[in-house]
Amino acid sequence: MIKTDILVIGAGIAGASVAALLSETKSVIILDMEGRAGYHTTGRSAALFSENYGAPPIRALTRASRAFFADTPSGFCESPLLAPRGFIQLARADQMEKLQQFAKSGRGLQELSIAELQNQLPYLNTSNIVAGILEAAAADIDVNALHMGYLRQAKNNGARLLCNQNVTALDYSGTIWSLATDKNRYQAPLVINAAGAWADEIAKMAGIEPIGLQPFKRTAAVVQFDKPIDRGMRFLNDIDENWYCKPEGSNLFLSPEDEIASPPCDAWADDFDVASVIERITHVLDLKPVRVESSWAGLRTFAPDRIFVVGFEPAATGFFWLAGQGGYGIQTAPASAALAASLVLNESLPYHLEEQNLDAGQFSPDRFR
CATH of the domain at 66: 3.50.50.60
> Half-sphere exposure (CA, 13 Å, Cβ side) for 42?
30
Tell me: the pLDDT tens digits for 226-282? 999 999 999 999 999 999 999 999 999 999 999 999 999 999 999 999 999 999 999
| pTM for this predicted structure | 0.95
> Which domain range does residue 280 map to?
87-136+214-302
Tens digits of per-residue pLDDT, 188-219?
999 999 999 999 999 999 999 999 999 999 99
Residues 199 and 309 in one domain: yes
- pLDDT, residue 47, reads 86
Note the pLDDT of residue 43: 56
Query: Among residues 285, 302, 319, which one ends one of the domains?
Result: 302
Dump the DSSP string for 130-189. Answer: -EEEEETT-EEE-HHHHHHHHHHHHHHTT-EEE-S--EEEEEEETTEEEEEESS-EEEES
Q: With CA atoms as reference, report the closest residue to 304 among 160, 164, 200, 166.
A: 200
Q: How far is CA 64 from CA 54, 226, 259, 337, in A?
A: 14, 41, 27, 11
Q: What is the spatial distance between Cα 277 and Cα 202, in angstroms, rounded to a whole number? A: 34
Tell me, yes or no, whether 208 and 196 share the same domain. Answer: yes
How far is it, in rounded angstroms, from Cα 196 to Cα 105?
29
The confidence band for 100, taking pLDDT boundaries of 50, 70 and 90, is very high
In this predicted model, what pLDDT tens digit does every residue of 29-76 receive, in sequence order? 999 998 888 776 665 677 899 999 999 999 999 999 999 999 999 899
| The predicted structure's pLDDT at residue 268 | 94
Is residue 96 situated within a structural domain?
yes
CA distance 70 to 202: 35
CATH of the domain at 286: 3.30.9.10
Averaged pLDDT for residues 292-303: 96
Last residue of a domain, one of 283, 302, 321: 302
- Confirm whether 77 is domain-assigned: no
Is 60 a member of any domain? yes
